[in-house]
């Protein structure tokens, strides 16, 4: 018992530590993720001492003047809750090549006009970064570059240069020389992030840290990092199309529901002011198996097309697959449709896809998914100028959702003429002459309202 542990096995997926090796992590169940790491006390010699702490009465504290600075990218500012907070530590995660370095260099273009920025890269050479900066039009004198992977050296430079903003690209490439583990290992990532945190918090320097994601899409060394930083942002998108979505999953200074939408072009990332229009571009009208939903992303309503496909299956257990929608929720909806509304999917392979790379987690999307699936099943066409939203309960009832007026307004703004909404939401909705609102109580009613041919039959 009292024996000193010299090495530990650490799971690279969930950060679990164990004294012995397992082929499968007992904590997260991933295979082959336990790696040996040497344990020794870590001396934070590179960390400058923070000021002496004193206890103060909360009510007498006066927040300093302007705490936030805008990045010049409104979509990023929105996600951060209004700009970069002084002393804030922000983690940006995303697949390789999604555009994290590009986004951060673009921030330099605007902020570099009156702020000193230190961009530390452990991934690219100065020449590579210079070429990219030229392409992105970053040419002000306040942006400094450091290609270095040793955290001690980096923090020395930070102390010497005292930048107004620090960017570390990426946490997996930097390492502390007094920690034995290799760069990118859980211990190294945690200790490096801790050292950076201590240094920049002491000096009140806002800092962006880039983190790579592992095969499940979580930031490598994930949990340890997420506790250390103030904001966790994910940069997502399909590499086959040019749209990128910046999503906030933790924010100590604002809401976490906001998303920012960008488009990757030859000259860098462009902000998308009108995401609904983008999500609906290329939509085919008069085909079966599609329905438009008005969903809320934070405070902003966005229209998105949901596609459903039901086709005969040769399998004993037919396939259920969803992209941009929760798989379990799909199984549950299919069970409700079958049991409560009499639409039979049990011998069919069923697929759901949200067009444009959005991930819709909100229950209000249920109704659009159901309509897309039923129209595919029946080979009918839902009216292309109609949006639908509402949560489907286990009894097959359509339940009220929030922010109904904002959703309806967005649909009307984009030229839609009708909305199928939960009946309980009708109260308090403003009626307008050129926009029809249909309140429904059951899935069958909703389907009849969505498909004009069906309504005529009834
Ligand atoms: P990058 O920012 O290097 O990704 P990350 O840092 O997340 O790994 O983005 C690289 C990709 O972006 C690459 O595939 C090329 C593309 N890109 C453009 O399409 N236009 C541009 O102006 C830039 C700078 C990159
Ligand atoms: Mg990069």
DSSP string, 281-295: TTPPSS-SSEEEEEE
Q: Is the CB of 267 under 6 A from ligand 1?
A: yes
Angstrom distance (rounded) from CA 217 to CA 65: 38
Identify any residues that bridge with 166 across adjacent strands, giving them in sequence order.
Answer: 118, 207
Ligand 1 close to Cβ of residue 211 (< 6 A)? no
Task: Check residue 195 and give its pLDDT.
Answer: 94
Q: Which residues surround ligand 2, an ion (CB under 5 A)?
A: 101
According to DSSP, residue 101 is labeled H
What pLDDT score was predicted for residue 1? Answer: 45
Task: Report d(CA 249, CA 257) in Å as an integer.
Answer: 8
Q: How far apart are CA 167 and CA 183, in angstroms?
A: 18
CA distance 343 to 100: 45
**Measured from the CB, is residue 264 less than 6 Å from ligand 1?**
yes
C-alpha count within 13 angstroms, C-beta hemisphere, residue 75 = 21
Q: What are phi and psi of 305, to 5 degrees?
A: -95, 130
Cβ neighbors of 314 (< 8 A, separation 6 or more) are: none
* Ligand 1: nearest atom to the Cα of 235: 7
437: nearest Cα among 365, 388, 394: 388
d(CA 79, CA 243): 16
- The two tokens of residue 171 are 């946490």
Pick from 157, 75, 76, 74: which is nearest to 121 by CA?
A: 157
Percent over 90 (pLDDT), the chain: 52
Any atom of ligand 1 within 6 Å of the Cβ of 399: no
How far out from the chain centre does Cα 171 lie? 19
337-357 burial by CB neighbour count: b if 16+ within 10 A, else e?
beebbebebeebbbbbbbbbb
Q: Which of 76, 100, 102, 242 is the best mutation target for the ligand 1 pocket, counting ligand atoms within 8 Å of the beta carbon and taking the most?
A: 102
Note the pLDDT of residue 221.
55
How far apart are the C-alpha atoms of 371 and 350, rounded to whole Å? 13
Distances (CA, A) of 248 to 9, 162, 218, 300, 301: 31, 28, 13, 14, 17
Q: Which residue positions in the chain have pLDDT lower than 70? A: 1-5, 40-52, 63-66, 214-224, 455-458
Mutate to test the pocket of ligand 1, among 97, 99, 233, 238 (most ligand atoms within 8 A of CB): 99
Ligand nearest the Cα of residue 102 is 1
The position carrying tokens 């230190």 is: 118
Among 209, 355, 347, which residue's Cα sits nearest to residue 291? 355
Alpha helices, DSSP H, located in 145-185: 151-161
Contact call for residues 374 and 333 (beta carbons, < 8 A) = no
The pair of structure tokens assigned to 334 is 């299919």
Closest CA to 447 of 426, 420, 418, 422: 420
Pairing of strands 418-422, 165-169: unpaired
Q: Are strands 300-312 and 386-388 parallel, antiparallel or unpaired?
A: unpaired
How much is the pLDDT for 2? 45
Q: Which residues contact 307 (CB under 8 A, 6 or more apart)?
A: 289, 290, 352, 353, 354, 355, 372
């Amino acid at each position: 018992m009292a024996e000193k542990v010299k090495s530990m096995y650490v799971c690279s997926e969930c950060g679990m530590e164990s004294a012995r090796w397992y082929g499968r992590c007992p904590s997260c169940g991933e295979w082959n993720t336990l790696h040996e790491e040497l344990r020794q006390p870590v001396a934070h010699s590179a960390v400058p001492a923070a000021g002496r702490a004193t206890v103060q009465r909360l009510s007498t504290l006066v927040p300093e003047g302007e705490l936030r600075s805008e990045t010049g990218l409104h979509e990023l500012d929105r996600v951060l809750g209004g700009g970069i907070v002084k002393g804030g530590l922000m983690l940006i995660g995303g697949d390789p090549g999604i555009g994290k370095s590009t986004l951060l260099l673009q921030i330099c273009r605007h902020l570099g006009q009156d702020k000193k920025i230190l961009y530390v890269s452990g991934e690219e050479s100065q020449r590579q970064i210079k070429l990219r900066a030229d392409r992105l039009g970053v040419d002000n004198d306040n942006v400094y570059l450091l290609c270095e992977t040793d955290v001690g050296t980096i923090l020395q430079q930070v102390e010497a240069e005292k930048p107004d903003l620090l960017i570390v690209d990426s946490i997996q490439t930097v390492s502390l020389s007094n920690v034995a583990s290799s760069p990118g290992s859980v211990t190294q990532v945690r200790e490096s992030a801790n050292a950076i945190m201590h240094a920049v918090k002491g000096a009140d320097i806002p800092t962006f840290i880039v983190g790579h994601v592992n095969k499940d899409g979580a930031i490598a060394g994930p949990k340890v990092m997420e506790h250390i930083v103030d904001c966790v942002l994910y940069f997502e998108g399909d590499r086959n199309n040019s749209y990128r979505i910046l999503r906030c999953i933790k924010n100590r200074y604002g809401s976490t529901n906001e998303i920012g939408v960008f488009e990757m072009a030859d000259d860098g990332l462009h902000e998308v002011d009108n995401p609904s229009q983008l999500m609906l571009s290329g939509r085919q009208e008069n085909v079966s198996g599609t329905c438009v939903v008005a969903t809320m992303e934070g405070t902003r309503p966005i229209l998105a097309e949901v596609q459903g496909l039901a086709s005969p299956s040769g399998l004993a257990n037919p396939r259920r697959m969803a992209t941009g929608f929760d798989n379990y929720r799909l199984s549950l909806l299919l069970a409700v449709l079958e049991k409560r509304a009499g639409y039979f999917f049990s011998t069919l392979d069923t697929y759901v896809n949200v067009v444009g790379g959005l991930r819709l987690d909100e229950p209000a999307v249920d109704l659009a998914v159901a309509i897309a699936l039923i129209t595919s099943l029946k080979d009918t066409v839902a009216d292309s100028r109609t949006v639908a939203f509402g949560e489907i309960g286990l009894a097959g009832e359509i339940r009220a959702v929030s922010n109904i007026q904002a959703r309806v307004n967005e649909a009307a703004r984009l030229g839609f003429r009708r909305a199928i909404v939960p009946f309980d939401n009708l109260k308090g909705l403003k009626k307008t002459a050129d926009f029809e609102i249909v309140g429904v109580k059951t899935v069958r009613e909703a389907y009849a309202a969505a498909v004009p041919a069906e309504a005529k039959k009834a």
